[in-house]
Structure 1
Amino acid sequence: MDVGEMKRYICATFAGVSAPEANGDTFFVYDPDRDLPAERQLPFATLVTGDHYDDASALSRPGAWRLNIGLPRAAYAALLPGRGGSDADVDHTAADVLLPHPVYAGQHWVCVVNPGEATLGTVRQLLAEAYEFAVRRHLNHRNRRASS
């Protein structure tokens, strides 16, 4: 799957998602009414195509891109037990390997450089879980605002 196919998959699979872009990267935000203020637009997944934010994955290589997925704490802990932060011994340039995010592992983010046959099934499950978490956060916020 290439970066364009992944973007199309996420946008077609998950309702209410906006996909703003910056520097060739895409940020997937659950915003069903397209009315979230900028400070509330927190992505549940991102597609990064260059070394704009970190260079751990060496995304300047031809064809390299990284999918990042933000998970609930329990899901992250079950998937990568004992890996609450980025690990110095992890090769973040490895393709098609699920890894803790090089910068945001402490916030329960995982990543995969060029997801393929080895990780695609898991990636789809994790995207669904991250999306459902984003929906719950969105609804909780709306309910708190409505009850104030």
Structure 2
Amino acid sequence: MTMDEIISFVDGLDGVLTMRPEPGDGSPEISWGDTFFHYAPDGVAPTATQPFATIVTKDYPGDEASRLDRAGTFRVNIAAGKEAFIRWTGHAPRDPATTEIDPGTTDTVIAHPVYGAVGWLAVVNPGERTEAATRELLHAAYHLARSRYERRAEATA
């Protein structure tokens, strides 16, 4: 699965705002080349919510365990929810893992090396083994983000 295939899949979901920071747009330089997915049916970047998924192409300070500095390496990060997290990892987000998986392992669904404690999953270079799972998890994260948006909209109406 390429980054472009992932971007096309998520961008095709109704109400998704795909942000791809680049030089000159006011975004921090470290984010250039990465992709952030928000549920924003009005097309306006939300300021009070996190993206429901991201694609990162490089190591960030404090997040080097996936070794994204390897050529052609990227990681999909997905806020798919507690149930999906438990199903894929075998433990609740804040509970310690019973088995350790190298965060740089490719084509494997893992707890996010930094944000796993809040329920994020990750896949480094999704491939044949994880393509269907990656799509399923992205779809689940999208639905959770959409539901949160709709609840907030109803509460303020």
* TM-score, length basis structure 2: 0.84
The aligned runs of 1:10-89 (5 Å cut-off) are 10-12=10-12, 14-21=13-20, 22-40=31-49, 42-53=50-61, 54-82=63-91, 84-85=93-94, 89=100
Q: Counterpart of 1:129?
A: 140
Letter aligned with residue 101 of structure 1: H
Shift in Å, 1:10? 1.4
Letter aligned with residue 81 of structure 1: G
Q: Number of residue pairs matched? A: 144
Shift in Å, 1:145? 0.8
Letter aligned with residue 74 of structure 2: W
Work out the CA distance in 1 between the residues paired with 2:8 and 2:46.
Answer: 24
Distance 1:37 1:43, change over 3 A: closer
Q: Counterpart of 2:23?
A: none
Shift in Å, 1:4? 1.8
Work out the CA distance in 2 between the residues paired with 1:73 and 1:3.
Answer: 25
Shift in Å, 1:3? 1.3
Q: Provide the alpha-carbon RMSD of the alignment.
A: 1.7
Work out the CA distance in 1 between the residues paired with 2:5 and 2:18.
Answer: 14
Work out the CA distance in 2 between the residues paired with 1:119 and 1:37.
Answer: 30
Whether the 8 Å CA contact 2:38–2:45 is kept in 1: the answer is no
Work out the CA distance in 1 between the residues paired with 2:58 and 2:5.
Answer: 17
Determine if the alignment matches structure 1 residue 100 to structure 2 residue 100.
no
User: Counterpart of 2:36 in 1: which secondary structure?
Assistant: strand
Give a deviation string over 1:21-65, Cα, whole Å, max 9, x none: 23211110000012354223x211100000125111111110000
Gaps of 5+ in 1: none
Letter aligned with residue 17 of structure 2: S
